[in-house]
Amino acid sequence: MIGDDPTIGFVGLGTMGGSIATRLLEKGYRLVGYNRTRSKAEALVPAGLEVVETPNQAAARSDICFSMVTDDASLSLVARGENGIIAGLRRASVYVELSTVGPQLARELANEVSAVGAAMLDAPVSGSVGHARSGRLSFMVGGPATTLDQVRPVLLAIGEKITRVGQAGDGKLMKLATNLQVYVQTLAFAESIRLAERGGIDPRTAMEVLLNSVICSPMLQYRAPFMLDRPENAWFTVDLSVKDLRLALDAADQLGVALPTASAAADVYLHAAQTGRGAQEVAAIYDAVSELRPVPTVR
């Protein structure tokens, strides 16, 4: 049973994971953390983080262990093996997995966690770095309701909305369904700006009109301005967008679902990645759109 003052482990302290860990430290939680690039973990030491040498140690020294990494391969690496999170989990501790990865991997890990007497929540988040820093993330959770109840106070320290969507793997599937909206909307917004610009309208004027119209979603409100004014450090890269769209299309294939707009968007993001923009902020899709040639359409 998780007590009122749990020690938290955190594996994966990149842009988003580091922002979440910082928020937890600010809320007064004790954190032990690991990151493959140690300097990213050490950057949080002044805020109170204790750095450990392996994911195993982060899990062994915590009541609740979080992980947030880039992809399936990275998650398998930090979760499995003698130095992995699962090997370090104590009986009755909880593993909260935040990454955007395939649903099947989440199901497999949940079974492996159960085999060692611990419990796992598949709990990806929706929101930006800014939402993480201000505690306004939303969680889509797969896993036992009783386990969720145990860690709910900690999740509420970093997010304002928690929705249990089903069992292990369902959180990841819901995240993929959510993210494809981000990429399709972002691409459509870039197309709108480019169309107006090509017709002689100042792109900043076009952006102002769009962001004050009925088409503006909360996501576009904070992300679309990056198309004209890029952040110094990418909040989310084109390469990660390609990865997420590929996962969504793979899930759709397995479930027999057609995703025509996501499929079209994936081609454009892949073009952006293949033309040297993979490490850039996802708003670079605005630049990629200008390179595409018109294609015949049904009239």
CB 247 within 8 A of CB 100: yes
pLDDT of the residue at 295: 61
**1.10.1040.10, 1.20.120.1200, 1.20.1440.80, 3.40.50.150: CATH of 173-289:** 1.10.1040.10
pLDDT of the residue at 20: 95
Q: Max CA-CA distance within the chain?
A: 64
CB 117 within 8 A of CB 92: yes
- C-alpha dihedral, 145 to 147 to 152 to 153, nearest 10°: 150
Per-residue pLDDT for 172 more than 70?
yes
Per-residue pLDDT for 244 more than 90?
yes
Give the confidence band of 129 by pLDDT, cuts at 50, 70, 90.
confident
Per-residue pLDDT for 296 more than 70?
no
Q: Which two tokens stand for residue 194?
A: 């480019």
75-103 pLDDT, tens per residue?
Answer: 999 999 999 999 999 998 999 999 999 99
Per-residue pLDDT for 196 more than 90?
yes
40-67 pLDDT, tens per residue?
Answer: 999 999 999 999 999 999 999 999 999 9
Average the pLDDT over 246-271 and give the result: 96
Per-residue pLDDT for 242 more than 90?
yes
Mean pLDDT, the chain, as a whole number?
Answer: 93
Number of C-beta neighbours around residue 16 at 10 A? 22
Per-residue pLDDT for 237 more than 70?
yes
Residue 10's SS3 state is strand
pLDDT of the residue at 280: 93
CA atoms within 13 A on the CB side of 102: 16
pLDDT of the residue at 236: 86
pLDDT of the residue at 299: 53
pLDDT of the residue at 153: 95
Nearest partner of 100 among 233, 240, 239, 249, judged by Cα: 240
pLDDT of the residue at 1: 63
Q: pLDDT exceeding 90 applies to what percent of the chain?
A: 85
pLDDT of the residue at 293: 74
In the chain, domain spans: 7-168, 173-289
Topology (CATH) of 7-168: Rossmann fold (3.40.50)
Domain 173-289 in the same topology as domain 7-168: no
Residues with Cβ within 8 Å of 107's Cβ and at least 6 positions away in sequence, in order, are: 167, 168, 169
Instruction: Give the helix ranges, DSSP H, for the chain.
Output: 15-26, 38-42, 55-60, 72-79, 85-88, 103-115, 129-134, 145-158, 170-198, 203-211, 218-223, 238-255, 260-272, 285-289
Degrees, nearest 5: CA angle 45-46-47: 90
Per-residue pLDDT for 231 more than 90?
no
Average the pLDDT over 206-211 and give the result: 96
Give the confidence band of 128 by pLDDT, cuts at 50, 70, 90.
confident
Per-residue pLDDT for 297 more than 70?
no
Compute CA distances 126 → 148, 180, 206, whole Å: 17, 12, 27
1-31 pLDDT, tens per residue?
Answer: 666 789 999 999 998 999 999 999 999 999 9
Per-residue pLDDT for 118 more than 60?
yes
